Chains A and B, each alone.
Chain A
């Protein structure tokens, strides 16, 4: 493939009007990969979300997951999304035996809230049923220390690959030097965020499995944040003091090829959730149990629903909204205070990052245009 450089200067984009956009950083996206004719995001089901709930999927006291219930939730969700009557046929809509499939797990909330191993195991089981070998399936995350704590291999068939991009924080050898977004947020020296090499050079399809979590910088963290910040290096630089550039950086990263084209399925894991202090969940203090999975191909539509889930929970707990940008509640660097008080934040939340991503063509944000199929088990 010939090397091509896509300059994604906002001045040339259709959203380059208005004061917010005028103050956005200048992004330069470098990638040799052209978009697929039908990119995985928003995929074949823009604006469609299947919401599956079951009160029996997890025991809130022991946090034990009921594998059989999860299996049923997965089956019903996938069938409803695709219109197929058999789960196998639903999975075949997205994957074939020649694919090399990556599963983007989220482990930043370790040990409390991560992509549930039971859900990952069910995804792997279905991929194998349709003909993929374990060696064609990769779980990936950025940090080895987090992945190791979850211990996914204990739940998976032998041969499934579990890959961390950074054996030690900051190592970039497993990132692709030819696929990156360059941007200078705060005068930092290292201005590049590179895509994980596994994604650009090996995987043919990606399944995104985020959690339902609050996020101190981006407002909430769901499909977009997980696939974007979880697939590139050097992203924490987007926050400094009270300011976060997650508003535009998340969507920009998610739109980089080949990530955008290859991410074909979104399965949001809401067995557990985090309503404050996210993406972390070191204690149960801010954990809750939505008992809820969402299926789709449109990350924006799912994340739009997530905003309301987190915001309603916060409201019920007497906490400020994820839309609250008042500096009264922002105390930069005061992590300990944030971890004790749900009305303290360390950054101004950029919940608007989801709408911004919709403007980059990643999905449907308007709640009136999102079609939700509700299933209760």
Chain B
């Protein structure tokens, strides 16, 4: 029952291609997908498990931008770092939201991983050329099993629903400053960001990059739950359940990453690494000190997951 529930939470394909595309879906290993209602019977007869969904129903969901490195040269970046389009902060802000992606070629697998990492209810409308890659990613996600439920964070952001808070959340996530979106200040966090207060004036947040840096300095790098070295385009999510933590690593860049170094605050027994496209790998150069655990990811492409047990 638990497994069935888990499978139902995975991101799912929206497939408009006709019944003559059965072979393509089979090659991709995809049996369950949303299809237009008038195609449901035909897909059932072909041995699939279609779920009816009209285009208008799909589009009634919140549309997400395709995850990627932005090449929009007209957008000025406040730093030398690449401009990353990522949706994790949206999922954290509204975890019960219903989302869909309308994805250009080359982005389906990362979008599936992104939605999975944040446990988002998301549907993927893809370029058919990405079908097999998406199929491989969905098969990988199925193997991972459910993630621990609690979002582990360094701070809380009081969500006033404003666009300014959106940008603050975006830049915090971009810098792997782990936050939890809350409706009112949460005493379990040393830092609660509420825009418009004396400590966090709106004018200061108008430059979200600088603002995120200020927050980083307040937390201090030593006390951050997570640090990542070796890439500017990997965004992480950390969840836990008391004894177990799961680290999701999403690579928004185009190429593979070799040797990404991760520092987690706390002492963890050597865990398991699974990377999409590679399967099980060993964590390298594993070091546990009094205050932190460090290890390297030998290789990864779009997505990798590390499961660890507290010592």
| A171 with B287, Cβ < 8 A, contacts A190-B232, A191-B221, A192-B229 known | no
A362–chain B nearest beta-carbon distance, Å? 26
Residue contact B259 to A174, C-beta cutoff 8 Å: yes
Flag if B258 contacts A171 (CB, 8 Å): yes
**B258 near A173 (CB under 8 angstroms)?**
yes
Task: Name the contact of B285 in the complex, choosing from A167, A178, A187 (C-beta under 8 A).
Answer: A178
**Residues of chain B lying within 8 A (CB to CB) of residue A174:** 258-259
Contact residues of A: prevailing secondary structure: loop
CB distance from B223 to the nearest CB of A (A): 14
With the chains together, A170 CA to B230 CA distance in Å?
7
Interface code B281-311, partner A: CB below 8 Å = 1, 0 otherwise?
0001101000000101011000000000000
Which of chain A's residues have a CB closer than 8 A to the CB of B285?
177-178
Take A187-B213, A189-B81 as given contacts and tell me if A173 and B228 are in contact as well, using a CB distance cutoff of 8 Å.
Answer: no
Chain B residue at smallest Cβ distance from A175: B259
Number of A interface residues at 8 Å Cβ cutoff, please give it: 21
| Contact indicator per residue, chain A 167-200, by CB within 8 Å of chain B (1) or not (0) | 1101111110110000010011111101000000
Q: Is B107 an interface residue (CB 8 A)?
A: no
Q: Does B98 contact A (CB under 8 A)?
A: no
A343 at the interface (CB under 8 A from B): no
A175 to chain B, nearest CB (A): 7
Q: Which residue of B lies closest to A180 (CB)?
A: B229
Closest residue on chain B to residue A187 by CB atoms: B213
On whether the beta carbons of A184 and B221 are closer than 8 Å, the reply is yes
Q: Which residues of B contact A188 (CB under 8 A)?
A: 79, 81
- Residues of chain A touching chain B, judged by Cβ–Cβ distance below 8 Å, are 167-168, 170-175, 177-178, 184, 187-192, 194, 233-234, 240
Q: Give the residues in chain A near B230, CB-CB below 8 Å.
A: 170-172, 190, 233-234
Task: State whether the Cβ of B80 lies closer than 8 Å to any Cβ in chain A.
Answer: yes
Interface presence of B125 (CB below 8 A):
no
Distance, CA A240 to CA B230, complexed state (A): 19
Task: Tell me if B216 and A170 are in contact (CB < 8 A).
Answer: no
Whether A192 contacts B261 by the Cβ 8 Å rule is yes
**14 A-B interface contacts by CB (under 8 A):** A170-B230, A172-B230, A173-B284, A175-B259, A177-B287, A177-B294, A178-B285, A187-B79, A187-B216, A189-B176, A192-B229, A233-B230, A234-B230, A240-B80
Q: Which of A168, A172, A184, A187 contacts B261 (CB 8 A)?
A: A172
Given contacts A187-B216, A189-B228, A189-B232, contact A173 B298 (CB under 8 A): yes
